[in-house]
């Protein structure tokens, strides 16, 4: 049996606009971020969801609430990667190319290993999709967390993600979950802002 997961990154935040490192720290959606979330809502308006989930960050909660007015569960395991001492600092201070060849670059600064983030989000999504009632699910999470997950299930997408300088805000990743094999397959990626803004 196949189930559907719609995995969405939150809308643009103040820290995104200011090019600040934003992991476990939080900042509010900008006006553009709110419009991006509404665009994602317009793109998904004909989809019905059995359940919805977001990380514990305000930016994902606000995004989900703008996409769809429905009950949802907040989960810590859907959080963004922790960047340790780099949190809130300028993005240019981060180690170069850490996502590609230094997954543990932030550990010595009190942050997470990207491989741990990948396992954390994958296990969270497996648990969500293994729930019998969840046939069509909406999840709002974060850029590095989503990219690390996509890197495992669809590594050929990494060149595109790098060329876009990450997962676009409010990009919708349509993913199929096979209950027999407990595997995920990326079906489509859409940036609703291109069509609805």
Q: What are the residues whose beta carbons fall under 8 Å from the beta carbon of 13, sequence distance 6 or more?
A: 22, 26, 27, 28, 29, 30, 33, 59
CATH assignment at residue 104: 3.40.50.1240
Give the Cα separation of 149 and 191 in Å (integer): 18
Residue written as token pair 């983030």: 117
Active site residue 152: no
Verify whether residue 80 is a known catalytic residue: yes
DSSP letter string, 132-179: TT-SEEEEEE-HHHHHHHHHHH-GGGHHHHHHTTSSPTT-EEEEEEET
Question: Looking at residue 195, what is its pLDDT?
Answer: 81
pLDDT confidence of residue 77: 98
Number of domains in the chain: 1
DSSP 49: -
Length of the chain (residues): 197
The per-residue pLDDT string of the chain (197 residues; one tens digit each, 9 = 90 and over) reads 899 999 999 999 999 999 999 999 999 999 999 999 999 999 999 999 999 999 999 999 999 999 999 999 999 999 999 999 999 999 999 998 898 889 999 999 999 999 999 999 999 999 999 999 999 999 999 999 999 999 999 988 776 676 667 799 999 999 999 999 999 999 999 999 888 77
Give pLDDT, residue 162.
67
**Residue whose token pair is 């590594």:** 155
Q: Which residue has the tokens 């850029």?
A: 143
pTM over 0.85: yes
Q: Which one from 10, 87, 112, 142 is the annotated catalytic residue?
A: 10
Report CA torsion sign: 195, 7, 116, 108. positive
Known binding-site positions for substrate: 9-16, 59
Give the per-residue pLDDT at 163: 63
Known binding-site residues equal 9-16, 59
- Per the residue annotation, which of 31, 58, 80, 152 is the catalytic one? 80
Domain housing 192? 2-196
């Amino acid at each position: 049996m196949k189930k559907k997961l719609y995995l969405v990154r939150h809308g643009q935040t103040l820290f995104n606009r200011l090019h600040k490192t934003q992991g476990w720290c939080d900042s509010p959606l900008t006006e553009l971020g709110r419009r991006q979330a509404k665009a994602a809502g317009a793109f998904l308006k004909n989809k019905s969801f059995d359940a919805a989930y977001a990380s514990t960050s305000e930016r994902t909660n606000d995004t989900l609430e703008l996409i769809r007015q429905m009950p949802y569960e907040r989960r810590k395991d859907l959080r963004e990667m922790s960047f340790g001492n780099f949190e809130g600092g300028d993005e240019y201070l981060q180690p170069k190319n850490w996502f590609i060849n230094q997954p543990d670059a932030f550990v010595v600064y009190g942050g997470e290993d990207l491989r741990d983030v990948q396992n954390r989000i994958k296990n969270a999504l497996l648990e969500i999709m293994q729930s019998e009632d969840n046939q069509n699910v909406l999840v709002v999470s974060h850029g590095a967390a989503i990219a690390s997950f996509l890197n495992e299930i669809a590594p050929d997408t990494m060149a595109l993600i790098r060329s876009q300088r990450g997962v676009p805000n409010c990009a919708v990743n349509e993913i199929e979950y096979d209950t027999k094999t407990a595997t995920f397959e990326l079906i489509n990626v859409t940036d609703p802002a291109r069509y609805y803004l």
